[in-house]
């Protein structure tokens, strides 16, 4: 579900929580909008920056340490807020300037496995994900994986395969194999290309320090 942003000149400023407890946030461009900025402005970062670079295909995203609690974000001229719970990894999926969705990725309690092991998940843009079923071939064939859920697998596996099915008919719509790397998370963003009459997989890499 997308969170609607408000234009920058509407509504009062919100008071955000002070910097006390840490979380980690990464930002991905899962949009067809080519005019999206390459960064979002956000408060509460533990670094000296006031922005996070938006990752996309061909441009990796990194998890940034950030204060947990209510955070203000700005994308272009639009503002929104997100709430982060302490000691958790999150990804902000950007569908458009005024449409975002916050995905929970992992807990710090599982950080050793989350940081070291390759992981893959899927996202779909421009359609209802409930219309589809996705299977992963990693260490074994895992069926009907929920959208946004990272699946970890052995670093020596080498590759993983993503299968996309029409949920109603069971028809296989697309499949593709990708290489894996240790310490790397891959979000496979799926879009339908009407000109090519096929589904396109766009892998976006996320790095965990």
- Domains of the chain: residue spans and CATH: 3-109 (2.60.40), 117-207 (2.60.40)
Give the predicted TM-score (pTM) of the model.
Answer: 0.85
Question: What's residue 14's pLDDT?
Answer: 46
pLDDT tens digit string along 150-200? 998 876 667 899 999 999 999 999 999 998 877 789 999 999 999 999 999
Distance CA 51, CA 172 (A): 40
Q: Give the mean pLDDT of 88-99.
A: 93
Q: Assess whether pLDDT exceeds 60 at residue 8.
A: no
Contact criterion met (CB below 8 Å) for 138 and 188: no
Tokens of residue 145, six digits: 């994986």
Mean pLDDT calculated for residue range 142-155 = 90
**Alpha carbons 190 and 176: distance in angstroms, whole number:** 11
* Residues in CB range of 8: below 8 A, 6 or more apart: 74, 77, 78, 79
pLDDT digits (tens, 9 = 90+) for 9-44: 444 444 455 446 999 999 999 987 778 899 999 999
Q: Which of the two residues, 29 and 59, has the higher pLDDT score?
A: 29
């Amino acid at each position: 579900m997308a969170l609607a942003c408000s234009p920058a000149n509407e509504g009062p400023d919100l008071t955000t929580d002070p910097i006390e407890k840490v979380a980690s946030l990464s930002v991905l461009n899962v949009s067809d909008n080519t005019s999206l900025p390459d960064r979002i402005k956000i408060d509460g970062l533990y670094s000296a920056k006031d922005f996070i670079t938006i990752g996309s295909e061909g441009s990796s995203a990194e998890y940034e340490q950030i204060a947990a609690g209510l955070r203000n974000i700005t994308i272009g001229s639009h503002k929104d807020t997100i709430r982060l719970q302490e000691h958790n990894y999150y990804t902000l999926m950007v569908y458009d300037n005024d449409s975002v969705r916050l995905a929970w990725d992992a807990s710090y309690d599982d950080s050793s496995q989350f940081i070291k092991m390759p992981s893959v998940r899927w996202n779909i843009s421009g359609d209802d994900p409930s219309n589809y079923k996705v299977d992963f071939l990693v260490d074994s064939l895992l069926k009907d994986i929920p959208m946004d859920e990272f699946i970890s697998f052995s670093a020596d596996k080498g590759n993983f395969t993503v299968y996309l099915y029409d949920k109603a008919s069971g028809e296989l719509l697309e499949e593709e194999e990708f290489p894996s790397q240790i310490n790397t998370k891959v979000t496979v963003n799926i879009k339908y290309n009407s000109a090519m009459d096929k589904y396109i997989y766009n892998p976006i890499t996320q790095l965990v320090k």
